[in-house]
Chain A
Amino acid sequence: MKFIAAKKIPDLLGLLARDARVWAPLVPEDSADTLLFLPWEPGAEVDLERFTQVSPKKLVMPGSEPLFSFSYSMAVDCERLEIGDARGVPGAGGASDADGAGEAPGAATVLFGARACDARSLTVLDALFGLEPGEAYNDPLYRARRAALTVVTLACTSCDAACFCSSWAEGPASTEGSDLILYPVEGGYLARGVSDRGEALLVLDIWEESEQPLPELAETDRVPFGTLNTKLLEIFSDMDFWERATERCVSCGYCTYACPTCYCFNIFDEMRGSRDGERCRSWDACMFYLYTLETSGHNPRPTIAHRYRNRIGHKFSYYPENQGTTLCTGCGRCIRGCPVGLDIRDVLRGAGER
């Protein structure tokens, strides 16, 4: 099996970076406790031990991105409307490198050091955004970014208390969404190609041969899903349950932004002066009061309990019903990062026992 010594990882990244922008787990300059997927530059030290606080979904769905630009005026005698391409408009919609929109859709990108949960989350999103132009729903920007993305996954030989990907059949051994998987072993990593694109990376002149066996992968906590999807419908009106479950929640939305599968967005126009502007799309969060506030003033999800119920129902009941897969891969980010220690697993177990 192909093998690479740990000390040669920077060389591998350098080879990958010849043809693509490489995003890897890096410590931002101003925050030593933080680990994020950021653009790798030669000399930057990747952290392949800790988990990133925020998922890599920004590489297929940037935090903010322009959809198109326009020039428009309603003023009498100079009325005009031109709709153009927003690509190449620097900073349109507040888009920045840090939230993944620095690259034009379709630019070759490598996601290095994703975990199995992150790689699988891409296939969960594919079900919604569509990969083929002929599908009922397809998002050209998502599709372009997805098609240009190579995923090099780091297999998990250890996990933490928040991980729960073993709740799904393959758990940490899942290859879904990965092109190449690196398995940590003594002195380095074994490499296994999953897709043609991943196999192609194995011809790079950097790999050695190794007889080491594949390592034993982590075994995480498991949430028994069982018939949770129908159970959640049964307890839909059980507001006592939802209010107790969310007593601590402050509706900050961290869970939705850190999540690899939350995809809700808002579309809005951003003007530059009085005529020119961009139509932009930015992440939104169903945990926000404004998310469902209607123009009339009515809000069908007026309390945190209503909104959290929707978040859980969407992930574990409605999305599975519509797309055939849970909208969660057990990465545990929402648990690690919650400022009030709300654990989604407690809510799911509680729902199951209701």
Chain B
Amino acid sequence: MSTIPREGIKASEPLRPEPATVLDVITETPNIKSLRLAFDDESLMQSFSFLQGQVGQLSVPGAGEATFAIASPPSQREYFQFSVMKTGVVTTAIHELRAGDRVAVRAPMGNTFPTDDWKGRNIVVIGGGIGMAPLRSLFMYLEDHRDDYGGLQLIYGARTPKDVCYLDDCRQWEAGSDIDFVTSVDT
């Protein structure tokens, strides 16, 4: 675990989150929103790094804190993204947020995918519904390092057509000539 970078969380204060601002809110589905965030501390934002698949703790002070996968790729330096389904107290508060609102974040945390071990192989990424969030980060990482891998296939499904997240990304993946994108819905 010691190899996982923790740039972002202050080692001396791992329990204390850093203030961040909501740059953009994207309504993905009727109950899922994506939030693009940046730390208020510019030097922290510049040094902030994470690995595909890692998570963060997002706080709306007063409502509480919850864990979400970071859905943006490590190469995206302007913002980091969480995609959140509205289910409970914290996620309901998150769904109230608008661009310009401030939140607090502890990140990165958790583990990554062993992408180095996959080099030279064909990769199939299979995801469903909001479970696509960490896989979006992973798949975009693989696209960023396209030459390191063989065939890239993404199979993504959701319960119904209106539950499909990341429609803009889906259109790009569909149009991409060097990736195989398959999508499906249950009903």
CB distance from B110 to the nearest CB of A (A): 12
Chain A, interface residues (CB within 8 Å), range = 20 to 34
Quick check: is A27 within 8 A (CB to CB) of the other chain? no
Are the C-beta atoms of B15 and A74 separated by less than 8 Å? no
Chain B hits for A137, CB < 8 A: 1
Quick check: is A68 within 8 A (CB to CB) of the other chain? yes
Interface size on B, residues (CB 8 A): 28
CB distance from A291 to the nearest CB of B (A): 15
**Are A72 and B12 CB-contacts (below 8 A) given A81-B19, A295-B87, A295-B91?**
no
Quick check: is A104 within 8 A (CB to CB) of the other chain? no
Are the C-beta atoms of A83 and B65 separated by less than 8 Å? no
Q: What CA separation (Å) do A133 and B14 show in the bound complex?
A: 10
CB distance from A287 to the nearest CB of B (A): 22
Quick check: is A279 within 8 A (CB to CB) of the other chain? yes
Quick check: is B168 within 8 A (CB to CB) of the other chain? no
**Are A277 and B62 CB-contacts (below 8 A) given A81-B19, A295-B88?**
yes
B95-150 CB contacts (< 8 Å) to partner A: 96-97, 100-104
Contact of B65 among A72, A279, A295, A296 (CB under 8 A): A279
Chain A hits for B18, CB < 8 A: 83
Quick check: is A136 within 8 A (CB to CB) of the other chain? yes
Chain A hits for B61, CB < 8 A: 70, 72, 81, 83, 269, 277, 279
A230-277 CB contacts (< 8 Å) to partner B: 267-269, 271, 277
Are the C-beta atoms of B62 and A271 separated by less than 8 Å? yes
Are the C-beta atoms of B87 and A133 separated by less than 8 Å? no
CB distance from B106 to the nearest CB of A (A): 11
Chain B hits for A268, CB < 8 A: 64
State the A residues within 8 Å of B (CB).
67-68, 70, 72, 74, 79-81, 83, 133-134, 136-141, 267-269, 271, 277, 279, 281, 295-296
State the B residues within 8 Å of A (CB).
1-2, 11-19, 59-65, 87-88, 91, 96-97, 100-104
14 more A-B residue pairs beyond the given contacts A81-B102, A133-B11, with a C-beta to C-beta distance below 8 A: A68-B16, A74-B97, A74-B101, A79-B101, A80-B102, A133-B12, A136-B1, A139-B15, A267-B65, A269-B63, A269-B65, A277-B62, A279-B59, A281-B15
A–B pairs, 20, beta carbons within 8 Å? A70-B62, A72-B62, A74-B60, A74-B96, A74-B101, A79-B101, A81-B61, A81-B104, A83-B18, A83-B19, A133-B12, A136-B2, A138-B11, A139-B15, A269-B61, A269-B64, A271-B62, A277-B62, A279-B61, A295-B87
